[in-house]
Chains A and B, each alone.
Chain A
Amino acid sequence: MSAQNPAVEALGVAVAARVPVLLWGAPGTGKTSAIRAMAGAMDLPCETVIASIREPSDFAGLPIVVGGEVRFAPPAWARRLAEAGRGLLFLDELSTAPPAVQAALLRVVLERAVGDLTLPDEVAVVAAANPPEQAADGWDLSAPLANRLCHLAWQTEPRAVADGLAGGWSAPVVPVLPDGWHAEEILSRGLVAAFLHVRPGLACAPPSNAAAAGRGWPSPRTWEMAARLMAAAGAAGIGDEARSALIRGAIGDGAGVEFLAWLVEMDLPDPERVLADPASFRLPERGDRAYAALAAIAAAVAADPTAARWTAGWQVLGLAADTAPDVAAVAARVLARCRPGDADPPAEIRLFAPVLRDAGLL
């Protein structure tokens, strides 16, 4: 398989950034083996704990009376991880764990606390679960636990399975986070903050129905997670698909898509700045972005048509007419309709005559 599976890439980044992550997928699709292989490739000791056959005390600590007070003793797997100082805690079958066990897992997942023992920061938490509708005895994840995890959908590509069966399973490519990647987190936090200024309603939006509660949803905690994952994804240089999966996994599909759409829009040039300095304008390469940029500029002129702004608008269209005459012509029609009384017809208008005539619009 030449192209890396985006789910594996996303998983690798989440593990490297030490953000708790949960893989959702049908039974038998290789979630467990992918996570073990990932731990092996990163040279992390892996401790597998099957949540569904554990009791709450296995995660909250076993209460033991010592000299008149109760201590919460951690189980052996937690001790081993603490002694190694690093590692990967893999919680399998999370959705078949009874609600009481899920409650006990809350502190383990986010704060890495098992009983009286706190696991080192270098321990990554990864969980796997079958969707409740696929596991006969499945539970929906409780909303507080779901909110502590980045949810990734595990999909298998038939071709990768065929290749794997024939030629052996390829080892996952491990994303490497350069030292100092945390510095980028400031930038991504700034982006998230700017977005939440525009859409304050999405800062915290608990899900309204029980089925959606078991997946990612926006809350201050998950926005922080999303910012962290975004920075890590940028630093590791992984594909856009994996980056979008990580963001949507942290804050849920609805808020995630809105945030991604806003990021795309942020890439567009600011119309007022372009009108102040038309020569600086660079046409975005993709057709729909070019259309969005030019339409925004034309709309900005139409909203406040002074002679100077009108002329500047035509200059921008003149620059774009060479590469994208059709896109520019759409904006030109808007400009032509809002000509201020004291402005002379611009020279650029002639550039659009041929294409307008061909389209039968002249």
Chain B
Amino acid sequence: MKRTPLQSAILHTLLVLAVLLVCAPVIMAFIISSQTETEVLSYPPKLTFSSNWGYNYSTAWNRINLGRMMFNSAFIAIMVTIGKIIMSLLAAFAFTHFEFRGKQTLFFLIIVTLLLPVPVRIVALFDVVSKFGWINTYAGLIAPFLASATGTFLFIQRFKTVPTELIDASKMDGCRPMQYFFKILLPLTKSTIGALVVIEFIYVWNQYLWPLMATNSDKMRVVQIGIKMLMNAESSNNWGVIMAGVIMTMLPPLIVFFVLQESFMRGFALQSDK
């Protein structure tokens, strides 16, 4: 369908407008992160770059030990992502390639977990983790999140699109299930794994309530808590410093997102991506 130059122009304008509106808050954060405290408080608001980068970024980094927090968030995110992918792969394999008693029930139970987010069970969860002695440890931040309904679903969808002839052929060849899993199935799931890496990394990096309850010391805190801590500094909010913290905190998941974008898109194409 041919498009007139006018139609093209309109389309581009709308898209640019949409992008500006969507990106506005972060552009603003970036600008503010360069201003001094008095510039931030000026009214009418000052919307131009200033040069207070050094002070703002180094204060945000040092005031809450951001480096350590980023390490913690990254470590936990990576461990959870790896764990979840492994467990979801195994679970999805069980559901798609086997028949067994209780299959429907177990599948239903996995669906139910979508409706049991952290806030609904947090008090008892805190007691359980406390009893294990895992409060303020990496174990306490990782273990509760190792199983995933989302991951299981995604892999189930992916596995279902694999032609059944492959299975029959390998059965005829005397292939045992786990051999089939590793040699044939796994290589086909690369983009789904990529999508899951993006989703899980972002999810864990962005967690707030559980780390708030489950950590006490600077050594174990995660970046999202850092943002609240920056905002809670008793003296009047120095938004320049806060925005510097915000910008630094949002970078890693954004990087993961942009790098693995294609995987993310393809992994979500619930049809196959042969």
A binds B: no
Residues of A within 8 A of B (CB): none
Residues of B within 8 A of A (CB): none
